Amino acid sequence: MSIADNASVKQQEPFKSLSGSSLSFGLAGWLLCLLTPVMLLLGLSVGPVSMDMQQLFQVLLHLFTDTSSLDPAMAGLQTIVADIRLPRTLLAWIVGAGLAISGAAMQGLFRNPLADPSIIGVTSGASLGASIAVVIIGSSISASEQWGGLSILVLGAFVGGLLAVLTVYRLSTGSSDHFSSSSTSVATMLLVGIAITALAGAGNSLLAYMSDNETMRRISLWNMGGLDAASQPRVILAACIIVPAVFLLMRFSRQLDAMLLGESEARHLGVDVQRIKWSLVVIVAFAVASSVALAGVIGFVGLVVPHMLRMVIGPGHRRLLPYSALAGGLMLVAADIVARVILSPAEMPVGVITAILGAPLFIILLRQRRDYGMY
Amino acid sequence: MSQSQHSRMLFDAVSLSRDGIAVLDDISLALPTGKITALLGPNGAGKTSLLHCASGVMIPSHGNVLLDGVAIESFAPHVLAQSVAVLPQQSGLNFPFIVEDVVAMGRFPHSDGQACDQAIVHRLMDILHIRDLAQRPYTALSGGEKQRTQLARVLSQLICNTQLDVNGSSVLLLDEPIAALDMPHQSLLMNLLQQLAAKGLTVLIVLHDVNLAATYADKIALLKAGRLLAFDSVDKVITETMIKQVYDVDVDIIAHPKTAKPLVIREV
């Protein structure tokens, strides 16, 4: 049989048939699965108003029922959980999962374990877009918490993030004559990403400089990342954009494994390299742009979580991608609990917590990199 | 199925220029199916570029590379990968995959079931003496061990079963695969290639060792400054005048005492 016949017989794409679907869970996986509900419950119970587990379960049982049947004290707890802590914990979980799996995907795509979702310029672009939206909405803070205001913010972050990514992608895609299909140089992409990040950062600073105190405070709070503005609409938005992105990214495990061999090796293994790059960048852009829109700029989760996991379970993406999502969600929920408790009743921006925890961890990892046998 | 003589891969007047400089100049050759063709030539002759054209990574400025009569760039990557495997000169893998996982990546283009894939992977690791290293991280291997791992990966892409049968239309492109290998493993690899060629595999291999090429190849293509100087059987290509013309070195050629194949020795 000639290869031309073969083409028509084997129509199904072998990469699609096997990827992602069969999750093999090792010890680390079970541990993550076990810790996740514990951390989520902790996220719901910890705060200025304390409640024990029994009260929490009672509240959770009545979460979607009429509160009038409860006594006033329980109804109060019910309101706290339903309106404040549940959206906040869920948002932290989803955003953390999205950031970590995006980081894992970018590290694979760039074949660099030190890459971060912000490397393609999406974080800074989204943050600039959000700042512009904040300036447009003005100081009417309440407006931003309604659906209308929220969607302008999200839209701003989205447009900003996607524009930045498109610029990075466009500038790093050369129209080389000899290479089949215009190829995107990942090294150039990295450098252009740095330039775009600097540019958007400058725009952000300029906006902050020119605006009044209240707007400036909002912009700078945005850049520290925070989950205090979590609300039901935000959680729904996150569930609609970030959750599908997480599941989509998990489908690319084999292609990402092949990419680690090298771009041409991946191509020789049948990976449509150009299409994979494009798909990954777009999915990550959506996930990260919406996480910036909903929770501000939260650093280090996307960088540190996949990096640490790789040291435990190895570089294979079939495990790395889902585990990163689980661990990222776990880490951000934990960081948010710390952010709420440490200055109680006041709060710290969660981005500060992740940076305080993440930076030293990252330095330790860097120092151990030789034992790890990498780069 | 018409086996043997019919050529699966054909270079049809392939030219390639880069920044105005001709890298390949009007190269036409038909790779004989089920044979080993060695590509020889000095540094910078265009050997790797020719391999890039054959694998579809580079598109010729003029001419075509045809696989079964179809231009190579018109194949979808996952279809091409089922028939053409490539071993590049260098590997950029610096993530600590274990050896077995690296070899198993060669099975990505196929979906023949996990048991079949694993059997092929294990068989090739046995043959290339890396079975003991199966659970070691790739990044911790020596140069020769890495090379054997990559070879096993590339071979596993074209082999259908543990009897080492290959699909009749398979083409293997190897860019200096023996550079990092010690002498026994060089022979091991070349013998393995002969065995696979006998089962229908078409091999194009870039070599620097003329004697190795003379011993194991069925045909030799001589490349110099982007031009194909000769493409013929070993006896016709490995001559004192031809070597002088391509490499500009004076050599003596004697017959191998056992195989009677030409043996190149440097003049002192």
Radius of gyration of chain A (CA): 22
ipTM of the complex: 0.90
B61·A177 Cβ contact <8 A: yes
Rounded to a whole number of angstroms, the distance from the CA of B29 to the nearest CA of chain A is 20
Nearest chain A Cα distance for residue B7, angstroms = 12
Which residues of B are less than 8 Å from A265 in CB distance? 86, 88, 91-93
Query: Can you list the domains of chain B with their CATH numbers?
Result: 9-239 (3.40.50.300)
A26: left (phi over 0), alpha (psi -120 to 50) or beta: beta
* pLDDT, tens digit (0-9, with 9 covering 90-100), for B1-32: 344 446 789 999 999 998 888 899 999 999 99
Question: CB contact, 8 Å: B224 with chain A?
Answer: no
**Helices within B87-140 (DSSP H only):** 99-104, 114-127
Contact A121, A200 (CB under 8 A): yes
DSSP-derived secondary structure letter, B32? P
Q: Are B148 and B29 in contact (CB under 8 A)?
A: no
Q: Using a CB-CB distance cutoff of 8 angstroms, which residues of chain A are in contact with residue B165?
A: none
Beta-carbon contacts below 8 Å between A and B: 134
How does DSSP assign A221-243, residue by residue?
Answer: HHHH--STT--HHHHHHHHHHHH
**Per-residue pLDDT reduced to its tens digit, B132-188:** 999 999 999 999 999 999 999 999 999 988 898 998 789 999 999 998 899 999 999
Residues of A in contact with B109 (CB under 8 A): 14, 269-270
- Helix, strand, coil shares of chain B as percentages rounded to 5? 35, 30, 35
Of A175 and B157, the structure prediction assigns the larger pLDDT to B157
Residue pair B16/B58 in contact by the 8 Å Cβ criterion = yes
| pLDDT(B85) > 60 | yes
Who among B58, B79, B169 is closest to A178 (CB)? B58
Query: Across the interface, do A272 and B79 touch by the CB < 8 Å criterion?
Result: no
Does residue A70 contact residue A62 with C-beta atoms inside 8 Å? yes
Grade residue A373 by pLDDT with cuts at 50, 70 and 90: very low
Q: Which residues does chain B have within 8 Å of residue A272's beta carbon, measured at their own beta carbons? A: 76-78
- At A328 the pLDDT is 96
Nearest to B94 among A15, A177, A374 (CB): A374
Element (H, E) at A60: helix A53-61
DSSP for residue B257? T
Please tell me if residue B20 touches chain A, with a CB cutoff of 8 Å: no
Distance CA B205, CA B228 (A): 15
The pLDDT of residue A193 is above 50: yes
φ, ψ of residue B177 to 5 degrees: the values are: -75, -15
Contacts of B74 in chain A (CB under 8 A): none
Fold of A51-367: ABC transporter involved in vitamin B12 uptake, BtuC (1.10.3470)
Q: Does A334 touch chain B (CB under 8 A)?
A: no
Own/partner contacts of B260-268, CB < 8 Å, gap of 24 or more, are B261/B214, B261/B215, B261/B234, B261/B235, B262/B214, B262/B234, B262/B235, B262/B238, B263/B211, B263/B214, B264/B210, B264/B211, B264/B214, B264/B238
Contacts of residue A108, Cβ cutoff 8 Å, sequence gap at least 6: A256, A257, A259, A260, A317, A320
What pLDDT sits at residue A216? 80
A166, A177 Cβ separation under 8 angstroms? no
pTM of the entire predicted model: 0.87
| Residues in B touching A258 (Cβ below 8 Å) | 105, 108
Residue in A with minimal Cα distance to B172: A268
Beta strands B227-233; B62-67: pairing state: unpaired
Is B78 part of the contact surface with chain A (CB cutoff 8 Å)? yes
Average pLDDT over residues B177-203: 94
Which residues in chain A (250-279) have CB-CB distances under 8 A to chain B? 254, 257-258, 260-262, 264-265, 267-273
CA distance B17 to chain A (A): 8
Helix (H) or strand (E) run with residue A104 in it = helix A86-109
Strands laid side by side in the B36-40 sheet: B84-87, B171-175, B202-206, B36-40, B219-224, B227-233
Domain boundaries, chain A: 51-367
Give pLDDT tens digits for A25-84: 678 888 999 999 999 999 998 887 878 888 888 888 777 666 666 677 778 888 888 888
Closest CA to A296 of A116, A146, A106, A161: A161
B169/A262 touch (CB, cutoff 8 Å), yes or no: no
Which whole number is the average pLDDT over A92-111? 93
Mean pLDDT of A335-341: 91
Stated as kind and residue range, the H or E segment containing A154 is helix A147-172
Is residue A108 pLDDT above 80, yes or no?
yes
Any idea which residue has 């990942």 for tokens? A186
Contacts of B129 (CB under 8 A, 6+ apart): B148, B185, B188
Distances A238 to A88, A101, A123, A283 between C-alpha atoms, Å: 11, 15, 16, 14
The B residues from 154 to 193 touching A (CB cutoff 8 Å) are: 157, 167-169
